[in-house]
Structure 1
Amino acid sequence: MDGNQEDIPPPLRVAVIIGSTREGRVGESVARWFTERATRRQDLELSVVDLIDFDFPARYPDRATPHMRKFTDEVARAEAFVLVTPEYNRSFPASLKQAIDYAYDEWRTKPVAFVSYGHGSGGLYAVEQLRPVFTELHAVSLRNGVGLNLLRDRFEEGEQDRAVGLMLDQLGWWGLALREARATRPYIS
């Protein structure tokens, strides 16, 4: 490359995980709203991972099923994550916890951001329950996220777009920093 040009890193591979599988869910609409904004960026390569597309077993089996392996492969391929989660009873859905638990090393040393939604709190309680889960998995949860109050917020241009931009700026920074760190030295756990 020309000495005057900066090396531009390849886009960060970001998995947008839709965490609700509930009938009548809003998660798909929230994820669509978010990805419409996120795909405007050239520094990110998004893939949507919708938990409704996986036929996970009701009980944790002795051996991983094909759907479990497919989900784990998606987590392994990604370099960063955006979890789209509702708040149910001041926490996150069981479907999301089940999926998170199918992977372990695949989450390690990668950043996780949150787009949460709910009534009143904007999903804040769900995010606060998810942070220690990802800390245990040695992932980095971002401070800034996007919280949508379904009683008030509309899926329009505006203040939430600024929150999306800030969150993605931070996700990009952490994603690239951790990509470089993983490439130069093994993680000690």
Structure 2
Amino acid sequence: MSAQNHQNNPLQVAVIIGSTREGRFGPVVADWAISHIDGRDDMTADRVDLTETPLPSVFPDFTRPLPEEVATRIGAVATRLSAADAFVVVTPEYNHSFPAPLKNLIDLHNEQWHAKPVGFVSYGGLSGGLRAVEHLRVVFAEVHSVTIRNTVSLHNAGRLFDAGGRPTDPASDHAAKGMLDQLAWWGGTLRDAKLTNPYTA
């Protein structure tokens, strides 16, 4: 599919806010990432905030019928993940890794991730969340996703944004564009490939 056709049929990108902690900085980072997507012709964003779509904290026994409330909550998120052509995961770093609710989201779904690209926007202290991203790469490989090589890593993120949620360092905007350019290439390529040759796990 040509670049022009991608503009006529933009990629659906689910932007996942991985932290649910009180006082989290994730929504500021996610809204900034979404502003970059909104400025493109080849993508549209769906903001998936795990505090607004609470999944069960205890992993369900899928060998038995799920309680209606649990099935409804999982199904609502699954529908949004299925509709996505690509993902951007916004994650902090907790104890050298990523948040438990994010792992729960990944584990509660399977085919929704298959043969789709995942880009990362990480934030934290000196490490900028990079160790969380490295752990996530292994996890997403297990669910047949393709992780984007270029990431956006925000070191000491609280100091990088002004009161309006805008980054004070132009390098952050440059990094976001580079990651999204790669995400667009992989997202379009994989979507086109699955139309002619459906993916099997």
| TM-score computed with the length of structure 2 as normaliser | 0.87
Which residue number corresponds to residue 171 of structure 1? 183
1:33-79 alpha-carbon deviations (Å, 9 max, x no partner): 11122211011011100000122222122325211111111110000
**Gapped regions of structure 1 (runs ≥ 5):** none
Decide whether aligned partners of structure 1 residues 24 and 109 sit closer, same or farther in structure 2, where only a CA change above 3 A counts: same
How far, CA to CA, are the matches of 1:36 and 1:16 in structure 2?
A: 11
Q: Which of 104, 107, 125 lines up with 1:119 in the alignment?
A: 125
Which residue number corresponds to residue 141 of structure 2? 135
How far, CA to CA, are the matches of 2:3 and 2:83 in structure 1?
A: 26
Instruction: Give the count of matched residue pairs.
Output: 185
Q: Which of 83, 86, 89 lines up with 2:92 in the alignment?
A: 86
How far, CA to CA, are the matches of 1:58 and 1:51 in structure 2?
A: 12
How far, CA to CA, are the matches of 1:179 and 1:6 in structure 2?
A: 13
Letter in 2 for 1:30: V
Q: Does 1:180 align with 2:195?
A: no
| TM-score computed with the length of structure 1 as normaliser | 0.93
Equivalence map 1:1-189=2 (5 Å): 7-9=4-6, 10-62=9-61, 63=66, 64-150=70-156, 153-154=160-161, 155-156=167-168, 158-189=170-201
Letter in 2 for 1:76: S
SS at structure 2 position matched to 1:53 = coil
Following superposition, the deviation at residue 6 of structure 1 comes to 7.6
Q: Give the ranges of 4+ consecutive aligned residues of structure 1 lying more than 4 Å apart after TM superposition.
A: none
How far, CA to CA, are the matches of 1:54 and 1:46 in structure 2?
A: 16
**Deviates further, 78-87 or 47-56:** 47-56
Following superposition, the deviation at residue 188 of structure 1 comes to 3.2
How far, CA to CA, are the matches of 1:101 and 1:156 in structure 2?
A: 36
Aligned partners of 2:16 and 2:90 also within 8 Å: yes
SS at structure 2 position matched to 1:65 = helix
**Deviates further, 89-98 or 30-39:** 30-39
Following superposition, the deviation at residue 142 of structure 1 comes to 0.4
How far, CA to CA, are the matches of 1:6 and 1:13 in structure 2?
A: 15
SS at structure 1 position matched to 2:98 = coil
Decide whether aligned partners of structure 1 residues 106 and 25 sit closer, same or farther in structure 2, where only a CA change above 3 A counts: same
Percent of residue pairs identical: 48
1:66-107 alpha-carbon deviations (Å, 9 max, x no partner): 111111111100000000000000100001000111110110
Following superposition, the deviation at residue 186 of structure 1 comes to 2.0
How far, CA to CA, are the matches of 2:81 and 2:154 in structure 1?
A: 25
What is the RMSD computed on CA atoms of the aligned residues? Answer: 1.6
SS at structure 1 position matched to 2:44 = strand
How far, CA to CA, are the matches of 2:48 and 2:89 in structure 1?
A: 10
